[in-house]
Amino acid sequence: GAVVSQHPSRVICKSGTSVKIECRSLDFQATTMFWYRQFPKQSLMLMATSNEGSKATYEQGVEKDKFLINHASLTLSTLTVTSAHPEDSSFYICSARDSAGSGYTFGSGTRLTVV
Amino acid sequence: QKEVEQNSGPLSVPEGAIASLNCTYSDRGSQSFFWYRQYSGKSPELIMSIYSNGDKEDGRFTAQLNKASQYVSLLIRDSQPSDSATYLCAVRTSQAGTALIFGKGTTLSVSS
């Protein structure tokens, strides 16, 4: 079945630095990528939707200059958390969908800890 | 308003019992409905999807959809301790494009 590889699985960074999270679709073309974050005991909150080759659409309250999303190819999307702060510590999950809309494939998630 | 609501639980059932999980959604134009299971620290795993009113069965799981009442439920028969997890209801609404909007999840605990 469809697989999305997400890396890194865990990352610890210092406050003020940037962190890049990658999601690769291994056996299908991810025309749309969704980025979520999940705080402890909370649900997945949609951050942004990106279509390949287009600018991402961010949800209300999500800073587009802080959470940079790149979806330049059909198999790779990245989320860069810029100038990370402790309040950005969370579980970040990507979800990909192909052009046929045959389903949503989730990455394995990235646990970000900002110290 | 794109809202999906679930009781957070915890829902506790003995092994072998039926667990019933409920979800309501606010967008009447919602089209697709999903149930995911999530273990702590892991990504969600798809259990079932349902698109039409009525019941859909897959093994021990049955999803029920009632668009008129705007609710979707998941029944787990013969619950096992390994079913203990958080169950997330996700809805593709008419207001969020093709993204899924998730409820807060219901934590299920199955005791042996």
Measure in Å the smallest separation between the Cα of B112 and chain A Cα atoms.
24
Q: Which of B25, B27, B43, B51 to mutate to test the interface with A (most CBs of A within 10 A)?
A: B43
Instruction: State yes or no: pLDDT of A91 exceeds 80.
Output: yes
Q: What is the pLDDT of residues B6-22, one digit of tens each?
A: 987 899 999 999 999 99
Q: What is the pLDDT of residues A5-61, one digit of tens each?
A: 999 999 999 999 999 999 999 989 999 999 999 999 899 999 999 998 889 999 999
Which residue in the set B34, B43, B49 is minimally distant from A108, CB to CB? B43
Q: Does A49 touch chain B (CB under 8 A)?
A: yes
How much is the average pLDDT of B92-99?
84
Q: Inter-chain contact B98–A101, Cβ cutoff 8 Å?
A: yes
The rounded distance, in Å, linking the Cα atoms of B78 and B86 is 17
